[in-house]
Amino acid sequence: MVIEIEDLEFRWQPGAPRVLAIEDLRVAQGERLFIKGPSGSGKSTLLSLISGVTTAATGSVRVLDQALERLGSIKRDHFRADHIGYIFQMFNLIPYLSVVDNVTLPCRFSARRRANALSRSRDLDTEARRLLRQLDMDHPDLHRRAVTTLSVGQQQRVAAARALMGAPELLIADEPTSALDADRRESFIQLLFDECRASGATLVFVSHDASLEPLFDRTLDLAAVNRAAPPALAGMGEG
Amino acid sequence: MAILSLAWKSLLNRRFTALLTLISIALSVTLLVGVERLRTEARASFASTLSGTDLIVGARSGPVQLLLYSVFRIGDATNNISWESYQDIAAHPKVDWTVPISLGDSHRGFRVLGTTGAYFEHYRYARDRRLVIDQGQRFEDLYDAVLGAEVAEKLGYQIGDAIIVAHGASDVSFARHDDKPFRVSGILARTGTPVDRTVHVSLEAIEAIHVDWQSGARIPGLSISAEQARAMDLTPKAITAFLVGLKSKIATFQVQRFINEYPEEPLSAILPGVALSQLWDLIGIAENALLIVSAFVVVVGLFGMLTALLTSLDERRREMAILRSVGARPGHVFALIMGEAGVLTLLGLVSGMALLYLSLILGQPIIESRFGIFIPLGGPTPYEWILLGAVLVAGVLVGSIPSYRAYRLSLADGLSVRI
């Protein structure tokens, strides 16, 4: 199992109301999971817990058979650097780094991903360009341009290349397509699928856009799974 | 290393504000070290207003007073030294040379100093530099005068111009030696010392203009013309002070004691270097104030950096979340901001020093000719290194404020981006 969550309860402070309560959630290796849920259903909290930025006082979050709550915060940051690729909704890129430097960024923080990248290409820049080419970003002009001049779609593909750099086992995408046109959404997701398949990565994809649901192996309705969610939110599409 | 290269790229991306911050730090460093160097050299230059002279001798008084009237031409002597005593001490076996000084007259606010050719031979200033005649020559004729550079410049005198010497320090018409005008025979090069504000004539000339004077006024009914005076015995009866050079410096205290205990009349012999530094201690408070002010300018420069870094933090919260998502620890975020502050401070120090040396190279001849202060281009002194180190430490301390704030923000924000 890539992700195993058991009897999880999360509160911001002891005594505060529960934000997230999940009895059981498992994601298998290579699986492509679609998590849908409106704002306030606990999506960002769940992603913070899986990526090890926060931990819960009750229950267990295991990623790649490692119980994150048993690790110190520095170890969790290392764990994230080594094993997790992360794509934000938008503005994913460091404005003062070039396209290629943005893609190789995880290798500055993880020796493991650096070694993985170097086992595929002779140097990091070459591996970054290879990934960008896979994601239809192979025009050399694009690599030289300031990242702020790229279109939103191009920026998201650079972000995807960065998340895939060094072949992390788990890819987390937090509404990565919400800023894209409807016809670009599907092609972006297909590119993501292809790359995950090629590297054997597991994909956790969060969105409130239910139309993307059929593309995935499995769907998780967070509002239904999260026992802490206010009843009014359960079943709501948008938020 | 990885974080430092990120910090560098981030600064390059915001190069306009970074450059402004850098300039303000660099300028403040230039000011701080420049003031330090200038005051050190001003002190050294002051201490060598008179060099090469082992003792200054005058009527018995305090060292600072003797120094003030004999070297700085400020105030008056309490008493004179008789010519016999002067001759006696000048003949002491340990004495190498003497330069007699006779003060009391003035020309349009500038003191007139009667002396001999020995003055031009032995007077030294600023670490053994001699007086140089810029135009003309020393006094040859009885009524020749050699002007200091400032006298000639302020009053617009040329070689050959006639000048009238007045009795006493104030220039009033009834007390002028207008029957015996002087001719400008030479003008000295600028020294940056009180020599620039002095009119030099021979001892005999001082005697000549006073032959028909007594107790500060003309003797009624007696009038001796300039030409008549030439024929008279013009050996001075008294002088105001004299400078002494010894054959060996080891004898300094021995000769000083000999003069201080001179039985014929009460005299004082002082060591010019000691008296000059005593005087500097009196007037040197301003130099410390200047250094303190420039230290505050550095603090202002560093506060500029603090403002620039703090205001940038809010717009950089997304950047911090991205860094966290690729595995950066909050400590990395701290190091990123600290790296930027460190780079700015270090570059500020380096370019501030570069600017200082550039302005020293350009300003050195001007400062030397205007103020007589020679500022050497040597490397930083140990004290300057301490100042530079203190600026670096202050930069790191100031930088730790936004760095700690960024650390707290990235800890609180995690991967969520709030803008």
- Give the domains, in start order, of chain A with CATH numbers: 3-225 (3.40.50.300)
Q: Where are the beta strands (DSSP E) in B198-344?
A: 198-202, 213-214, 217-218, 238-239, 241-246, 267-270
Asked if B327 and A106 come within 8 Å (Cβ–Cβ), the reply is yes
| Nearest-angstrom CA–CA distance, B208 and B143 | 9
Nearest CA in chain A to B416: A44
Whether B199 shows a pLDDT value over 90: the answer reads: yes
Positive or negative, the CA dihedral A208, A210, A214, A219 is positive
- pLDDT confidence bin for B1, thresholds 50/70/90: low
Query: Are B400 and B338 contacting, i.e. CB atoms less than 8 angstroms apart?
Result: yes
Residues B46-103 pLDDT 10s: 777 888 899 999 999 888 889 888 888 888 888 899 999 999 999 999 999 999 999 9
Of the candidate ranges B117-121, B379-383, B408-412, B415-419, the one whose mean pLDDT is the lowest = B415-419
Whether A57 shows a pLDDT value over 70: the answer reads: yes
- pLDDT confidence bin for B372, thresholds 50/70/90: low
Asked if B327 and A53 come within 8 Å (Cβ–Cβ), the reply is no
Whether A232 shows a pLDDT value over 80: the answer reads: no
Asked if A95 and B13 come within 8 Å (Cβ–Cβ), the reply is yes
Of the candidate ranges A228-237, B246-255, B327-336, the one whose mean pLDDT is the lowest = A228-237
Residue range A123-128: mean pLDDT, rounded? 88
Tell which residue, B204, B222, B161, B208, has the closest CA to residue B186: B161
pLDDT of residue B115: 93
The residue assigned the tokens 């895939």 is A164
Higher-pLDDT residue of A1 and B419 is A1
Which residues of chain A make contact with B319, given a CB cutoff of 8 A? 94-95
pLDDT of residue B246: 92
| Nearest-angstrom CA–CA distance, B6 and B15 | 14
pLDDT of residue A155: 87
The answer to whether residue A91 neighbours chain B at the CB level (below 8 Å) is: yes
pLDDT of residue B11: 87
| Nearest-angstrom CA–CA distance, A99 and A161 | 10
pTM to 2 decimals? 0.73
Interface test with B, best of A75, A96, A124 (most B CBs within 10 A): A96
Tell which residue, B208, B204, B239, B269, has the closest CA to residue B85: B239
Among the partner-chain residues A53, A74, A94, the one whose CB lies closest to the CB of B319 is A94
B364, burial (CB in 10 Å: exposed 0-12, middle 13-18, buried 19+):
middle
Q: Which two tokens stand for residue B5?
A: 């290269």
CA-to-CA dists, residue B71 to A175, B125, B362, B394, angstroms: 86, 11, 31, 44
Largest CA distance in chain A: 55
What number of CA atoms fall less than 13 Å from residue B320's CA on the CB side?
A: 30
Instruction: Give, as one character, the DSSP assignment of residue B199.
Output: E
Among the partner-chain residues A44, A54, A106, the one whose CB lies closest to the CB of B326 is A106
- pLDDT confidence bin for A221, thresholds 50/70/90: confident
Positive or negative, the CA dihedral B33, B36, B39, B40 is negative
| Nearest-angstrom CA–CA distance, B154 and A114 | 77
- pLDDT confidence bin for A239, thresholds 50/70/90: very low
Residues B8-17 pLDDT 10s: 888 888 888 8
A220 in helix, strand or coil? strand
Mode of pairing for the β-strands spanning B133-136 and B217-218 = unpaired
Distance of CA A12 to the CA centre of its chain: 22
Mean residue pLDDT across chain A: 84
| Ramachandran category for residue A87: left, alpha or beta (phi over 0 → left; psi -120 to 50 → alpha) | beta
pLDDT of residue A18: 81
Higher-pLDDT residue of B218 and B150 is B150
Domain locations in chain B?
Answer: 2-46+285-413, 55-270
pLDDT of residue B419: 46
Whether B129 shows a pLDDT value over 90: the answer reads: no
How far separated are the first and last CA of chain B, in Å rounded?
A: 29
| Nearest-angstrom CA–CA distance, B46 and B41 | 8
Query: Are A31 and A217 contacting, i.e. CB atoms less than 8 angstroms apart?
Result: yes
Q: Could you tell me how many CB contacts below 8 A there are between chain A and chain B?
A: 67
The answer to whether residue A97 neighbours chain B at the CB level (below 8 Å) is: yes
Among the partner-chain residues A81, A95, A174, the one whose CB lies closest to the CB of B326 is A81
Instruction: Give, as one character, the DSSP assignment of residue B369.
Output: H
Residue range A212-237: mean pLDDT, rounded? 72
Q: Looking at the complex, report in whole angstroms how far the Cα of residue A109 sits from the nearest Cα belonging to chain B.
A: 6
pLDDT of residue B172: 65
Distance of CA B273 to the CA centre of its chain: 15
Residue range A23-38: mean pLDDT, rounded? 87
DSSP B339-355: HHHHHHHHHHHHHHHHH
CA angle B346, B350, B352 (to 5 degrees): 110
Question: DSSP H helical segments within A41-110, as ranges?
Answer: 43-50, 73-83, 99-109
Residues B261-308 pLDDT 10s: 999 899 999 998 888 888 888 777 888 888 888 889 889 888 888 888
**CA-atom Rg of chain B in angstroms:** 32
Residues B227-244 pLDDT 10s: 788 878 888 888 999 999
Q: Looking at the complex, report in whole angstroms how far the Cα of residue A214 sits from the nearest Cα belonging to chain B.
A: 28
Q: Looking at the complex, report in whole angstroms how far the Cα of residue A24 sits from the nearest Cα belonging to chain B.
A: 24
Share of chain B above pLDDT 70, in %: 97
Which residues of chain B make contact with A91, given a CB cutoff of 8 A? 318, 417
Mean residue pLDDT across chain B: 87
Q: Which two tokens stand for residue A98?
A: 């070039």
Tell which residue, B279, B221, B359, has the closest CA to residue B69: B279
Query: Are B34 and B307 contacting, i.e. CB atoms less than 8 angstroms apart?
Result: no
| Nearest-angstrom CA–CA distance, B215 and B234 | 18
CA angle A234, A38, A157 (to 5 degrees): 150
CA angle B407, A85, A20 (to 5 degrees): 70
Asked if A95 and B321 come within 8 Å (Cβ–Cβ), the reply is no
